[in-house]
Structure 1
Amino acid sequence: MISGKDITVLIMAAGESKRMQDIKQLLPWKDSNFLLEIIKTAKNSRVGSVHLVLGAHAERIVDKCSLNDLHVDYMINPNWQMGLGNSIAYGVNHLLSLASRPQGILICLADQPLMTSDYLNLMVENFIQNPNRIIATNYTQKTGVPALFPITFYEKLSQLKDDYGAKEILKRYRKETIGLNAGKGIIDIDTKAAYEQLITDTQ
Structure 2
Amino acid sequence: MAGSVVIVLLAAGEGRRFGSVKQLADVDGEPMVRRSARRAIDSGAPVIVVTGADAERVEDALTGLAVHVVRHAAWAEGMGSSIAAGIRELRRHFPHATGALLCLADQPMIEQALFEAMLTRHRVAGDRVLASEHDDVMGPPVLFPRDCFEALVDWSGARGAHALLEHESARVERFSSHGGIDVDTPDDLQRVRAAIGSTSRETSV
Q: TM (normalized to structure 1)?
A: 0.91
Q: Distance between the aligned counterparts of 1:165 and 1:179, measured in 2?
A: 17
Task: Return the offset for 1:141.
Answer: 4.7
Matched AA of 1:187: I
Judged with a 3 Å threshold, the aligned counterparts in structure 2 of structure 1 residues 31 and 141 are, in CA distance, closer, same or farther, namely closer
Deviations 1:79-108 (A, max 9, x none): 000000000001101111226331111000
Q: TM (normalized to structure 2)?
A: 0.90
Asked if the contact 2:181–2:192 (Cα under 8 Å) also holds between the matched residues in 1, the reply is: no
Q: Distance between the aligned counterparts of 1:87 and 1:23, measured in 2?
A: 16
Task: Return the offset for 1:71.
Answer: 2.9
Alignment of 1:152-171 (within 5 A): 152-171=147-166
- In the alignment, does 2:40 pair up with 1:42? yes
Judged with a 3 Å threshold, the aligned counterparts in structure 2 of structure 1 residues 201 and 143 are, in CA distance, closer, same or farther, namely closer
Matched AA of 2:30: S
Q: Which runs of 5+ in 2 are unaligned?
A: 198-205
Deviations 1:111-167 (A, max 9, x none): 111102221011111111210011111244542110111111001111111011100
Q: Distance between the aligned counterparts of 1:74 and 1:171, measured in 2?
A: 29
Asked if the contact 2:41–2:66 (Cα under 8 Å) also holds between the matched residues in 1, the reply is: no
1:145 corresponds, among 140, 143, 156, to 140
Indicate the residue corresponding to 2:200 in structure 1.
none
Asked if the contact 2:28–2:196 (Cα under 8 Å) also holds between the matched residues in 1, the reply is: no
Asked if the contact 1:5–1:46 (Cα under 8 Å) also holds between the matched residues in 2, the reply is: no
Residue-pair matches, total: 197
Q: Which runs of 5+ in 1 are unaligned?
A: none
Alignment of 1:109-128 (within 5 A): 109-128=104-123
Q: Distance between the aligned counterparts of 1:42 and 1:5, measured in 2?
A: 18
Deviation above 4 Å: which 4+ runs of structure 1? none
- In the alignment, does 2:187 pair up with 1:193? yes
